Amino acid sequence: MSESFIIEGKQITKVLCENVKQGLPEKDDVSIYDGIREKHEKIQNDQMRRLVDMNLGFIEQFEASNLDQISAKSYSTLEVESEISDLALHTGFGHFIQQIVARHPLPIQLNTIVTNIDIPNDKNAPICITTKDNRHYLTKYVLITIPLGCLKAGSVKFTPSLPDWKQNAIDQMGFGLFNKIFMQFPSTFWDEKLDNIWVLSNGFRFFICHPHDHMLTSVVCGDFARKLEQQTDEEIIEQIVQCLKPIYPQIPKPTKWLITRWGSDQFVYGAYSNYKVGSTYETSRELARECYDDRVYWAGEHTNGGDNIGCVDSAFESSQREIKRVYNKLNQISN
């Protein structure tokens, strides 16, 4: 596959994405897939279509959902027309949190699962937070940072029930799935100069290379990731080996592996949010809007409307935003 062919494939993908909103009815919304389907089907060259599909797959990875689930109206072309900076914390996010805690000592309760939040009608009465081990915490205000996946699953019961507009926003917003598969091999069987390996397939498309550690990392998302979560580790690893075998016939079986299953994790039920069909920036604003007479506040990556939903910085910014609001509220009362 020539470099010019690859560049042409990227250009076709870019044009498809830039034109995805053209011709959409003013009020109705459709998926990105429906928005590009007609032009996509006109690509005659089979290899070019597979290349375009791989490029479109990067959007699915970014959004952690399939194109037939993502809103064409609310979708931003940011992913295909500009470079996005990624920052990796080599010591992990846990170290980042520990540094914050060290600077701001707080009575944090670890291994404590919240099951109920009761908000009394009397504004002067405290809100009661109940945990799985039947402990109770009383507070004047509460900041909810529960992942959207848990809100969708109803992991925490609110009494009285959430306002209809809040529940509708929870239901309307998309929440994707993004998993990683880490594999260590007995040797580096690929070109050590490679940073990535790209595969024209409907499943495993992208592998990150770590030659010095004899490791490959695969990323999967959306419906394919959900399907894999129903399979054993051994079944998944065998599929990857078979996927790479046409390129590397002598590929050995991995000696070690680690596979994330965020969709099955009871503390998140997915990865991060996106604008699915029918949702808009207003949906994320509704998710951020306080309720119960301004006593319950909301933060999280899904509440920080814009192009950075789903990102760690979005979650961090939203928490700072809401903490300042609660702080100002308490100052008003004390004064």
Residue 264, Cα to own-chain centre: how many angstroms? 14
274: closest CA among 73, 104, 27, 24? Answer: 73
| Predicted pLDDT at 299 | 97
Band of residue 84 on the pLDDT scale cut at 50, 70, 90: low
283: closest CA among 138, 121, 73? Answer: 73
Amino acid in the structure at residue 219: V
| Predicted pLDDT at 88 | 75
Lowest mean pLDDT among 91-95, 159-163, 223-227, 315-319: 91-95
Alpha carbon distances (Å) from 187 to 178, 207, 215, 233: 27, 16, 9, 21
Measured between alpha carbons, how far is 288 from 305 in angstroms, rounded to an integer?
9
| Predicted pLDDT at 16 | 87
For the residues of 243-284, what is the DSSP string, one character each?
A: HHTTT-TTPPPPSEEEE--GGG-TTTSSS-EE-BTT--HHHH
The four Cα atoms 263, 33, 80, 218 give a dihedral, to 10 degrees, of 40
| Predicted pLDDT at 82 | 44
Q: Which residues, including other chains, have CB under 8 Å from residue 127's CB and lie 6 or more apart?
A: 117, 118, 119, 120, 138, 139, 140, 141, 142, 295, 296
Which residue is associated with the tokens 């009465």? 125
Measured between alpha carbons, how far is 39 from 18 in angstroms, rounded to an integer?
12
| Predicted pLDDT at 25 | 64
Helix axes 3-18, 46-63, angle to 10 degrees: 60
Measured between alpha carbons, how far is 11 from 6 in angstroms, rounded to an integer?
9
Model pLDDT for residues 95-140, shown as the tens digit of each residue: 888 888 889 888 889 899 999 999 999 999 999 999 999 999 999 9
Model pLDDT for residues 273-312, shown as the tens digit of each residue: 999 999 999 999 999 999 999 999 999 999 987 778 898 8
Alpha carbon distances (Å) from 58 to 53, 62, 103, 198: 9, 6, 38, 11
Domain boundaries of the chain, sorted by first residue: 3-81, 93-174+272-334, 185-253
Instruction: Give this prediction's pTM.
Output: 0.90
- Mean pLDDT over 162-184 rounds to 98
Mean pLDDT of the chain: 91
Alpha carbon distances (Å) from 33 to 53, 71, 173, 221, 275: 11, 9, 18, 16, 14
What CATH number matches the domain at 93-174+272-334, 3.20.20.140, 2.40.30.10, 3.40.50.300, 3.50.50.60?
3.50.50.60
Asked if the peptide bond before residue 160 counts as cis, ω within 30 degrees of 0, the response is: yes
Q: What tokens were used for 329?
A: 């509220």
DSSP summary character for residue 143: E
Q: With 80 as the cut, is the pLDDT of residue 20 above it?
A: no
Model pLDDT for residues 44-83, shown as the tens digit of each residue: 898 899 899 989 998 999 999 999 999 998 876 444 444 5
Which residue is associated with the tokens 């909103």? 21
Q: With 90 as the cut, is the pLDDT of residue 222 above it?
A: yes
12 vs 260, residue with greater confidence:
260
| Predicted pLDDT at 212 | 95
| Predicted pLDDT at 78 | 43
